[in-house]
Structure 1
Amino acid sequence: MSSTDEPTPSPAELPSSLGYRLPAEWEPHEATWIAWPRNKEDWPGKFGPIRWVYAEIVRYLSRSERVRILVGSGKAERRAADALEKSGVDPDRVEFVRHRTDRGWLRDSGPMFVVRDRSHGAEGEPPPVALVDWKFNAWAKYDNWTRDNRLPRFVADRLGMTRWAPRTTIEQESRRVVLEGGAVDVNGLGTLITTEECLLSHEQERNPGLDRAGYEQLLRDYLGASKVIWLGRGIVGDDTHGHVDDIARFVDETTVVACVEENEGDPNHGPLRENLERLREATDQDHRPLRVVELPMPAPVVFDGQRIPASYANFYVANSVVLVPTFNDPKDRVALGILADLFPGRVVVGIHAVELVWGLGTLHCLTRDQPKGPEPSAG
């Protein structure tokens, strides 16, 4: 394993220069990582049923691929194993990994695995899979993040992977760059979607002083994103301040689903309509227009007087299954039907998420895909 924390890599040593890119979620996975729920503050008053929701998630994921589950102690592992056994999960399909976290939203705190397609298996050649370790600071909102921030380094050491920890210079000061996985979505060919609200707003500002051009350069250098599509705002109730994985997602190399709110009196109506128009006007890395498919929003989900960020766009694509959050809403079946049509080679399954979303995230937020990477080419 090599680490390139210091010094900043030369242009020739950057992931993109070595042929690495952030793969699309539908590309083959080696495993899915999750962290078994432990922080009761994430689901105040609703923590009890959460482990059973996780068990149901693991039950479906483990049929598709290996599931690596972070637990903080032997006691936590035994409790998780008991819940999985009672839920009918094959223990040979899961792997417990001891690492204590602050929270469980691995989409944001976990590593971004990158793949290198030009793999010939030659000695000294860069490996087919590596990872990028962006700094995590709990969305510039919460104080409990130092354990989560150490997770990508831990994973790199455990898997023996090359790791980059991006830095940038702002006002003559070298700084680690903050970026969460839920802030970006890609088609695997070089096009990336993000939002201005998350990356460019001065509220919950991750990287003060870093502008649009600076972000685009970093996304190109470390994730292979040659084209960045900027949407506007996220949805009401999202404590991340505008993550894209609640509003728009790639479902294949040229198709994006975009959330729409039909009720003109709903505060999500205007921002989602603007995002839809931006996507309809956008082109991909090869200057081709995108196919944009509308995805409905569920009726507002409110608990204890708080609007919660319920969205069907927070689905997760595994090797043979697509898990979609559902909310006891008539639009559940509409959303499931749309996504089933868009993923004909996978089983699309709804996961009841009314309790889960009280943690202000659902299925995509809690998962991190580890790609398999390309097979070495012959010759």
Structure 2
Amino acid sequence: MSEITRRLPAEWEPHQATLLAFPHNGNDWPGKYEVIKWAFIELIRKVAEFERVLLIVKNDEQQQKVTTMLEQAHANTKQVKFIQQNTNRSWMRDSGPIVVQRSDGKREALQFRFNGWAKYPNHRLDWQVPSAVAKSLKFPVTEVCYQGRPVVLEGGAIEVNGRGTMITTEECLLDQKTQVRNPDFTKEDYAAIFKEYLGVSNVIWLGDGIEGDDTHGHVDDICRFVNPTTVVACVEPNKKDVNHRRLARNLERLKSARLEDGSKLNVVEMPMPGRLDFEDLRLPASYVNFLVTNGCVLMPTFNDPNDAIALGILSELFPDRRVIGIHAVDLVWGLGTLHCLSHEITAAV
């Protein structure tokens, strides 16, 4: 009997649904909670035009309020399926399950350990998200362990092409002093985990993420696959900006990188929006934190001249999907935008 293998599909492969979690408090967006609720409604409305939405809400009271808001916004509520589950936060990319396809034709929800990005102590409620989603979808859920230890990993830390290649960063996964995920893990340890659980045979390691990213180096703010052989990578032309050198170094690595079959990676450069600050924080505004659905790509916009350029680049790279800008100046006050807030549920084979 052959061993069952797993594969993490690319995000442009068919989805059963997109997972979102409606915020039940404004803690991640101080002073902007009322605006954020309507920003979420608009996000749900757009996704529901193209595929089903799995929407986590705290309780029946919140479900009724959200339903009313969706109806006010003329969203297709028939496309929204609610899951009642209390959470600490709404960042489903990182606390939600990673759904993989198996060689026996079944799907499986992987539960990596979520530790609040090794920064925030209030994350225990978010541990329940993968099992709640898996129960709703009737998937088996598997806790990811390596050498007897639960493995800490967030979805925003990894990017795959569905063919065996993954991109991640040293800052996020290998730093042994700041926001440490898995003490003493090496590149070889991660390679073994990625191969067993995600079907990855080739890992491209970048260096640092962008300034303002409190996850400490998530790749989904700096580089994304748009097809099996092409990535879009952020660049910052302003040499006085700390991101200039960080992104230039990552670009060098990408241009010399190889795919799983040994071929060169095609790298398309994406400008960064102008620096965005609120109160005393620099915010991690990035166009590559886009969300792919079955029929569209939703890209965060920031009232910036580069918005139009970025939309044009993605439109060329996703010719079979509509590319739609979603205003994200308020969302990014929570230190993340569209990709961070969502997680695709891959469709059955």
Check whether TM > 0.5.
yes
More displaced, 225-234 or 149-158?
Answer: 149-158
Gaps of 5+ in 2: none
Q: Tell me the percent identity.
A: 51
Of 125, 133, 138, 1:155 maps to 133
Aligned partners of 1:289, 1:269: CA distance in 2, in Å? 24
The root-mean-square deviation of aligned C-alpha atoms, in Å, is 1.2
4+ runs of 1 displaced by more than 6 Å? none
Aligned partners of 2:69, 2:293: CA distance in 1, in Å? 22
Aligned partners of 1:339, 1:356: CA distance in 2, in Å? 21
**Shift, 1:333, TM fit:** 0.3
Of 300, 310, 321, 2:296 maps to 321
Structure 2 residue 227 is the aligned partner of structure 1 residue 252: yes
1:295-314 CA-partner distances (Å, limit 9, x unpaired): 00000110002100000010
SS in 1 for 2:316: helix
More displaced, 82-91 or 315-324?
Answer: 82-91
Alignment of 1:27-106 (within 5 A): 27-106=13-92
Aligned partners of 1:90, 1:167: CA distance in 2, in Å? 39
Of 244, 253, 269, 1:294 maps to 269
Aligned partners of 1:78, 1:329: CA distance in 2, in Å? 36
TM-score after normalising by structure 2: 0.98
Partner of 2:157: 183
Partner of 2:116: 138
Of 81, 103, 109, 2:95 maps to 109
Gaps of 5+ in 1: 1-11, 119-125, 375-379
Aligned partners of 2:319, 2:207: CA distance in 1, in Å? 30
Instruction: Write the letter of the residue equivalent to 2:24.
Output: R
Of 179, 192, 199, 1:204 maps to 179
SS in 1 for 2:122: coil
Aligned partners of 1:188, 1:268: CA distance in 2, in Å? 29
Structure 2 residue 252 is the aligned partner of structure 1 residue 277: yes
Instruction: Write the letter of the residue equivalent to 1:21.
Output: R
SS in 2 for 1:323: strand
Give the structure with higher Rg (CA).
Answer: 1
**Shift, 1:250, TM fit:** 0.1
- Say whether the 8 Å CA contact 2:88–2:126 is kept in structure 1: yes
Instruction: Write the letter of the residue equivalent to 1:140.
Output: A
Instruction: Write the letter of the residue equivalent to 1:85.
Output: E
Of 172, 177, 195, 1:220 maps to 195
Partner of 1:7: none
Aligned partners of 2:52, 2:132: CA distance in 1, in Å? 19
SS in 2 for 1:34: strand
TM-score after normalising by structure 1: 0.90
Aligned partners of 2:283, 2:163: CA distance in 1, in Å? 33
- Say whether the 8 Å CA contact 2:111–2:144 is kept in structure 1: yes
SS in 2 for 1:335: helix
SS in 1 for 2:34: coil
Aligned partners of 1:99, 1:35: CA distance in 2, in Å? 9
**Shift, 1:127, TM fit:** 4.2
SS in 2 for 1:41: coil
Aligned partners of 1:95, 1:288: CA distance in 2, in Å? 42
Aligned partners of 1:106, 1:292: CA distance in 2, in Å? 28
Aligned partners of 2:245, 2:69: CA distance in 1, in Å? 42
Aligned partners of 2:125, 2:34: CA distance in 1, in Å? 24
Aligned partners of 1:206, 1:252: CA distance in 2, in Å? 29
Aligned partners of 1:90, 1:180: CA distance in 2, in Å? 30
- Say whether the 8 Å CA contact 2:83–2:133 is kept in structure 1: no
1:225-261 CA-partner distances (Å, limit 9, x unpaired): 1000000000000000000000000000000000000
Aligned partners of 1:157, 1:56: CA distance in 2, in Å? 27
1:254-313 CA-partner distances (Å, limit 9, x unpaired): 000000000000000001000001000001100010100000000011000210000001
Structure 2 residue 107 is the aligned partner of structure 1 residue 129: yes
Partner of 1:6: none
Instruction: Write the letter of the residue equivalent to 1:162.
Output: P
- Say whether the 8 Å CA contact 1:51–1:83 is kept in structure 2: no
Structure 2 residue 290 is the aligned partner of structure 1 residue 304: no
**Shift, 1:154, TM fit:** 2.0
Aligned partners of 1:76, 1:229: CA distance in 2, in Å? 42
Instruction: Write the letter of the residue equivalent to 1:315.
Output: F
**Shift, 1:156, TM fit:** 2.0
- Say whether the 8 Å CA contact 2:50–2:293 is kept in structure 1: yes
Instruction: Write the letter of the residue equivalent to 1:226.
Output: S
